Structure 1
């Protein structure tokens, strides 16, 4: 607390509260309550960083993290590392909430989609703001892979939602399900490519790669299976107009592999049968490949439910294909194109909305954080007692809120003689702490002081003329952009003089019969019999009710 010239013993309860919160986030609930707890701590870390971590110097304080897959400990002297760890845990809990949903009902599937997308958003948020990670699980490649994996699982839930209660009949419905399955396969394929990168492949468990590769083939086969159903087993399979639209949808932009590519619109039942058979053959091949990859992994072989699904789906495709096989079938072999991925809901990452987390700055008693923070410097607090005669004022004006600032000093006044300075912050009046005090409250306390006024003041250190280069940060949360306009000191002074709003216009505690009053200078309001104040605006006098922040003579 040396930076704030405060006694650390006065903040024992605040330090204890922060320690208890940090201890609680080590074992959060695997629920929305656990996510909210982590977000609360993350927001507190932002306050703590601004309060105690100067961007130009580092504290000798280590933050620790254990790699989620290897358990290898890492540490950094950066609070950004702690924030990155919390974001990672937020994403992890979202995945656990998604996996706990009942995916046999529509509501459970919707919740699974929502939480998988939020998990992807947390990892993407971390990936875009985190650098120089010491552990492999927080490196850019791993986080990008995790984003893709979460979105692929969410897309899988979208397809399951279409299939709940059985698929509807019709060429278009079958084609849409096929494209949904192709989208799932496509997203798992992208994830598998990221996993197969040398650095990631050596780090990730073999079961992860096997599962993703199994699913990309499984859903690719499922896409071809539903196209075969559309061609052969629907009541409208012979509707050429619908078939044409289906072909345009599922093959738009797909490059043919050879001349026997099945792009020709099947006009007869025999042609539809041959093309459907070709899609079934592609389905069988992909399902067999998914079973083969699944069986190569010892851990996946233990998941009986998943193995049963693979087997049953393969047997269904193989049964339909076998029923079409004939010994004397010498028809031309057709190679089919991949199905164009398309979805009614293409999953996207949803970033964590930290603005909805309402937290109180634990160390709020140190004062408004925009002024009293680790990057600002000011003098040690000094106590000044002003004694005035009944015939004179204190001779200073104030402006602003939280904290109120000395705006001006009257030459030769009590305030000037006692050492008050323009831009001093009033952090106390008598025994009252005024760091958070509003303008009106400070004015009331000054008036109550009568002839003797004790102020506690701090003087802010001058700002450098040129902004310092922002130092490298491990992780930073987005700040609201501000438009900065260069200005001369003269222009700034002129604008301050003309300002008459609540925040910038000062209260003036001066002598009742000061020189300024006698000279009739139009920058001080005059009292009128009806209790109103005459405010000056562009040199014209106007009758107006007194407003907070306007100058007034005392």
Structure 2
């Protein structure tokens, strides 16, 4: 019996060792990957674990929500169709149970999407939190087998020679998944995006798929989307660039002018990237890349940039005159109006379900708060002003205050003529400020998620105390003039905001697969015959019987009938890819001619023959007619995107092709089948071009 027990224990131990071995190997692989990515500049691999867990929770919650929505829809249909009273009661009970579960799941998802304080700065200065955006998550992709097969099949070259380049690109994409929250992390995203320009043209033909699928998770809902096209990969990387800019802006020290300037710059760059996605990509498969959502996100970034500009005006601690106070009041009213229009835009059914409820609640609080701030500064300016109003001050008061609907106010209520009228108008504005501050605190208490933000409560309560203190100084026992409703402060701004389009030329990259040849010729869009070797043996005094033109690679032209070139099989339009084993794909016309002369009377040429007429004379790709866009576009086409600004060809003044390729390469966009016209939706939400001063 003991022998059987010992044998059983030994078998179980062997199984345990077998089970531990793969786990140990996986741990070693993970450790190797982590040690590598620590060396990749701009990558933080430790962020993958936390964000991965969050993404898994978000995705599971969305699946549960979708399941409960289907259950609720079925219960509602059954309730409408049922006639039996007991059945209707049972269905009603089930429907209430499903609805309560659905509400709970939505609140839990909102909590996951409402983490705004984690990205805020560490300053001790009280502030209203900004709204940063989370990054999209993606899965690891192994490009090795697909790229090697394509190199062997399409380019007829030894794929093993490019194993290092394939691994470098794979590692860069893996590192890009977890960028650091600084300028180095942004540079990593830009470099990967620029590298996609070459990768797409080298390996992604328009007529078939390599079997590579890019899977990204929605940053707002957590639902996965999977596409074959590089356009989806590009748009997702651009989204993460803008999201990272928004996080950098939220972390700035907003108690200093330098920090506020940096925050405004980051917000404008992020908004410019979202506008770029909006104008260059369409029919997005994920909700966070939808046109309506991108429009809201861009306008939210612009509103926060305006808020930072207002905070710049509030920085000086010295006493300000009436003109300065009126300017601050109008700026605050302008910020409130921008948030009001943004809140109306977010209320659209196509957007509301995608954005966290806490975002909408915070925007509502900011709208009311900055309206109160505008009234407060109008009142403080009027109270502290001594002497008569200047003509400019009177005009500013007249134009910056308007009557409420259905109420006629005397001119004295807007433009006082003496100190008594000034104090009375200030009292009206202070009373309105107090009412609005109390309303902002009420909205804060109603927001379940925002109630955890102690800093927000502190700012709102402090503003209420300041207005109440000023109002208390005006109250007298013999004062029987009750304040009327203050005029509405009209928003106005002296700042103009100009969106910053992404500048890809600042992050130059080198084509990892440069040895394949110039990308304008040796791309996935072109086809050639298999390389062949032509043996040239000429007699003394005999000509070669052909000429060459173009640059990198040179093209055979002017083949003489019955000449040496024709006898050995050279044809017009053939590319000379090598000579005596030396690669000439990147050699200029002058260099190839010199090589042939040095070769003497006997040498071997490596020739590639184009398979279509369009490649007889290599030219830069011309834009074909734009195809009709549909929901299938993302899965069947790939966007050419935007050039990184780095020419893949060797520059040469003798080459017309090189000159065409180098003209404005950093500013001219190549054709994009996802290109759309400029949007005109919600023109009132677009803040005019802005120049910081």
TM bracket (short chain): 0.7 to 0.9
Which consecutive residues of structure 1, in runs of 5 or more, have no partner in the other structure?
Answer: 481-500, 506-554
1:84 CA displacement: 1.2
- Pair 1:378-2:542 in alignment: no
How many pairs align? Answer: 482
Determine the structure 1 residue equivalent to 2:539.
389
> Quick one: structure 1 residues 181 and 167, their matched pair in 2 at CA, closer, same or farther if it must change by over 3 Å?
farther
- TM-score normalised by structure 1 residue count: 0.81
Determine the structure 2 residue equivalent to 1:260.
408
Structure 2 contact 252–263 (Cα < 8 Å) conserved? yes
Determine the structure 1 residue equivalent to 2:575.
425
Determine the structure 1 residue equivalent to 2:159.
8
- Pair 1:32-2:183 in alignment: yes
SS at match of 2:502: coil
CA–CA distance in 1 between the matches of 2:410 and 2:291? 41
Instruction: Give 2:215's match in structure 1, choosing from 30, 41, 64.
Output: 64
Instruction: Name segments (4+ residues, structure 1) moved above 6 Å.
Output: 464-467
Structure 2 contact 398–415 (Cα < 8 Å) conserved? no
Determine the structure 2 residue equivalent to 1:149.
300
Instruction: Give 2:654's match in structure 1, choosing from 502, 508, 523.
Output: 502
1:445-464 residue pairs with structure 2 within 5 A? 445-460=595-610, 461-463=612-614
Structure 2 contact 403–409 (Cα < 8 Å) conserved? no
Determine the structure 2 residue equivalent to 1:400.
550
Determine the structure 1 residue equivalent to 2:457.
307
| 1:80-100 CA distance string (max 9 Å, x none) | 111111111111111111122
- Pair 1:278-2:428 in alignment: yes
Which 10-residue stretch deviates more, 471-480 or 332-341?
Answer: 471-480
CA–CA distance in 1 between the matches of 2:464 and 2:640? 49
Structure 2 contact 427–483 (Cα < 8 Å) conserved? no
CA RMSD of aligned residues (A): 2.5
CA–CA distance in 1 between the matches of 2:297 and 2:263? 16
- More helix per residue: 2
- Pair 1:100-2:251 in alignment: yes
Determine the structure 2 residue equivalent to 1:341.
491
Structure 1 contact 261–336 (Cα < 8 Å) conserved? no
Structure of higher CA gyration radius = 1
Instruction: Give 1:208's match in structure 2, choosing from 359, 363, 386.
Output: 359
1:120 CA displacement: 1.3
1:95-494 residue pairs with structure 2 within 5 A? 95-166=246-317, 168-235=319-386, 238-247=388-397, 250-251=400-401, 257-261=405-409, 264-325=414-475, 331=481, 334-460=484-610, 461-463=612-614, 469-471=625-627, 472=629, 474=634, 477-478=641-642
> Quick one: structure 1 residues 261 and 408, their matched pair in 2 at CA, closer, same or farther if it must change by over 3 Å?
farther
1:311 CA displacement: 0.5
Which consecutive residues of structure 2, in runs of 5 or more, have no partner in the other structure?
Answer: 1-150, 617-621, 645-652, 658-693
Structure 1 contact 38–90 (Cα < 8 Å) conserved? yes
| 1:180-203 CA distance string (max 9 Å, x none) | 212221222222122222232222
CA–CA distance in 2 between the matches of 1:73 and 1:298? 28
> Quick one: structure 1 residues 53 and 196, their matched pair in 2 at CA, closer, same or farther if it must change by over 3 Å?
same
Structure 2 contact 389–417 (Cα < 8 Å) conserved? no
Structure 1 contact 221–283 (Cα < 8 Å) conserved? yes
- Pair 1:46-2:210 in alignment: no
> Quick one: structure 1 residues 332 and 476, their matched pair in 2 at CA, closer, same or farther if it must change by over 3 Å?
farther
SS at match of 1:386: strand
> Quick one: structure 1 residues 369 and 262, their matched pair in 2 at CA, closer, same or farther if it must change by over 3 Å?
farther
CA–CA distance in 2 between the matches of 1:337 and 1:400? 74
Structure 1 contact 147–349 (Cα < 8 Å) conserved? no
CA–CA distance in 2 between the matches of 1:467 and 1:43? 20
| 1:9-58 CA distance string (max 9 Å, x none) | 22111111111101101111111100100111111111111111122334
1:255 CA displacement: 7.2
